[in-house]
Structure 1
Amino acid sequence: MSEIPVRVTTSEEGDASASDSIDELVTHDETIANGVRLHYVEAGPEDGPPVVLLHGFPEFWYSWRNQLPALADAGYHVVAPDMRGYNRSEKPHGIDAYRLSTLADDVAALVRTLDTSVAHVVGHDWGGVVAWATAMTHPEQVSTLTVLNAPHPLKYVRDLSLEQARRSWYALLFQVPWLPERTLAARDFAAIERLFEEGVAVPGAFTDEDLRRYKAAFDRPGALESALNYYRAFGRGTVRKQLPGAIPLVGDRLVTSPSPIEVPTLVLWGERDPALSVDQTVGLEHYVVDVRVERFPDASHWVQFDASDRVNEALLAFLGEQ
């Protein structure tokens, strides 16, 4: 297979943040997708090409506050849901309700509510993992795939190194019942606040208002347990029953040999990510036919905040090519 095109993007001046007028830009709505009530915001012309933005942990639709205006201004119909279990969306009980295949089915069902039944799918962190899975299991509904600091789930498990396992120590902690919920909620969600404040590469990338909104989202009943169940479902291997071609390896881990993703794919990666190694971008040509990688050496896991302007530029250029 051909070598993946890799671009390295830096900035000496930093990136501008979206204004505080995000609430004036978006409208709120909800729908039933895959049997679950999902809250979402949307912006841009309804007849524009649809773009679905999938957030990660521990966030909600607001994760995309810097991308929503840029995409809407460019003429896209942007839909950013609260993922199953998050913020104002429904929170089903039980770990099995958060299997990766179920989450991908949620996205596919959401896309089917759009007039075209196909969309550009963009995901960060857990939203990126779900975006990968959606392109694997519902390729007919994904026109392009863009992933920000999220590993391909099958590559992640197959190539799991000691270094990556060390970085992902928290995922093991999250397998324990109730204790992670109490730890994260303690002292007015101090651990979540610290995750944002200390995890970014650009000081002040998250404002006090951002932190207030995130804490409010997780103060909703059941929100923390539901969000942690993403990790628990993946960690317990329930995903292996659902992804095509999966076989068990070392307990609940898996390797698979599915057909490579054929959807045009862009991977945007902040290299200063303490949780996920940049090695996750190496070897993707074995999993994706048409993939390019753009790396941001001066950005963290929260690349859409640290390098918002450059992320928007790369995303709009990629979507404009299709």
Structure 2
Amino acid sequence: MRVELSDVSLEVQDNGTGHEPVLLLHGFPDTHDLWRHQVKALDAAGHRVIAPDLRGFGDSGRPEDPTAYHPLHSAGDLVQLLDRLDVGSVHLVGHDWGSAVAQALVAVEPDRVASLSLLSVGHGGALLSAGWEQRRRSWYIQLFQLAGIAEDFVSRDDFAVLREMLAGHPDADEAAARLREHEALTAALGIYRAGLPPEVMFGPVPDGPRLRGPVLGVWSDGDPFLTERSMTGTEAFVDGDFRYERVEGVGHWLPLEAPERVNELLLAFFREHGSGAGV
């Protein structure tokens, strides 16, 4: 369904019924379809499941202003979305950039979050303090900063560079096809340009914002983009309970590559911290 907000419209999947709402946030270059295996499992377990396309992705709006893609703007979208859907608090789950947006939502509206689950990407401070191996794996972030140059390089030869980066993505062809749409690639890259400019990537490690537990961090040992330290280091930025789970033998796209394990971890975490989410 389409939900019109104050300055952008979002495409949203919402099963509309169930207890203890769950809000699922995808990352680059995905859409809400990243969560299709989780939506089925969570729905079967009786949860209300809400999965939007974030601004700039999929069928949601694509603002022209490059600064509009900062994670805080997406967090503001989600606050409005929950209000429109008459949802008070949620179990919040983010993967990749969805993890950063989830943390931004916790920063601005902590009482809307009953539990926080971070898949692949941990706290920003942990990422930026994870050492040179993490910086080496993050080389592409600097490429993505170069407006125009990055679009040309990434899309050249039918998105050959992107396809190489997405080699482990089960939906790589679909992701590349979506980015062929008018301004879709620039919009999708906007979150890197607004959220991780060079002064952030190579500046001092920020102090906050800190995360209020309970927080679940899940990392996979085949992730080519992120080190384990970038997730385990999240514990230093959490006030309260932090649980770390390592998934063996899969790459970056945990919800698609290890759906049964992800479903198991999320449902167990929600059961343990299940009294706080609701309408």
Q: 1:92 to 1:305 in 2, by over 3 A?
A: same
Partner of 1:228: 189
**Runs of 5+ consecutive residues of structure 2 not aligned to the other structure:** 275-279
Partner of 1:314: 265
Q: Residue 34 of structure 1 contacts residue 105 of structure 1 at CA under 8 Å; is this kept in 2? A: no
Which of 69, 72, 78 is equivalent to 2:43?
72
Q: 1:272 to 1:316 in 2, by over 3 A?
A: same
Verify: 1:81 aligned to 2:52, yes or no. Answer: yes
Secondary structure of 2:58's aligned partner? coil
1:1-322 to 2 correspondences below 5 Å? 29-43=1-15, 45-157=16-128, 159-196=129-166, 198-199=167-168, 206=170, 210-236=171-197, 254-258=205-209, 260-288=210-238, 289-321=240-272, 322=274
Query: CA shift at 1:216, angstroms?
Result: 3.2
Amino acid at match of 1:320: R
Query: CA shift at 1:187, angstroms?
Result: 3.1
Separation of aligned partners in 2, 1:229 and 1:257:
22
Secondary structure of 2:229's aligned partner? helix
Query: CA shift at 1:250, angstroms?
Result: 6.0
Q: Residue 87 of structure 1 contacts residue 220 of structure 1 at CA under 8 Å; is this kept in 2? A: no
Q: Which runs of 4+ in 1 moved over 4 A?
A: none
Length, aligned pairs only = 272
Query: CA shift at 1:310, angstroms?
Result: 0.8
Separation of aligned partners in 1, 2:34 and 2:162:
14
Query: CA shift at 1:168, angstroms?
Result: 0.1
Separation of aligned partners in 2, 1:92 and 1:250:
27
**Runs of 5+ consecutive residues of structure 1 not aligned to the other structure:** 1-28, 201-205, 241-248
Structure number with greater Rg is: 1
Q: 1:237 to 1:102 in 2, by over 3 A?
A: farther
Amino acid at match of 1:42: D
Separation of aligned partners in 2, 1:320 and 1:32:
32
Secondary structure of 2:248's aligned partner? strand
Amino acid at match of 1:307: A
1:15-74: CA deviation from partner (whole Å, max 9, x where unpaired): xxxxxxxxxxxxxx011235211111123x524321111111111111112211111111
Q: 1:231 to 1:284 in 2, by over 3 A?
A: same
1:279-302: CA deviation from partner (whole Å, max 9, x where unpaired): 012232321121101101212111
Q: 1:311 to 1:47 in 2, by over 3 A?
A: closer
Please report the RMSD computed on the Cα atoms of aligned residues, expressed in angstroms: 2.1
Q: Residue 122 of structure 2 contacts residue 217 of structure 2 at CA under 8 Å; is this kept in 1? A: no
Q: 1:285 to 1:224 in 2, by over 3 A?
A: same
Query: CA shift at 1:186, angstroms?
Result: 2.7
Separation of aligned partners in 2, 1:95 and 1:135:
23
Q: Residue 142 of structure 2 contacts residue 198 of structure 2 at CA under 8 Å; is this kept in 1? A: no
Query: CA shift at 1:193, angstroms?
Result: 3.1
Query: CA shift at 1:155, angstroms?
Result: 2.8
1:250-294: CA deviation from partner (whole Å, max 9, x where unpaired): 65x551244x32241111111211111000122323211211011
Partner of 1:25: none
Secondary structure of 2:62's aligned partner? coil
Partner of 2:277: none
TM-score (norm 1): 0.78
Secondary structure of 2:51's aligned partner? strand
Separation of aligned partners in 2, 1:211 and 1:118:
33
Secondary structure of 2:63's aligned partner? coil
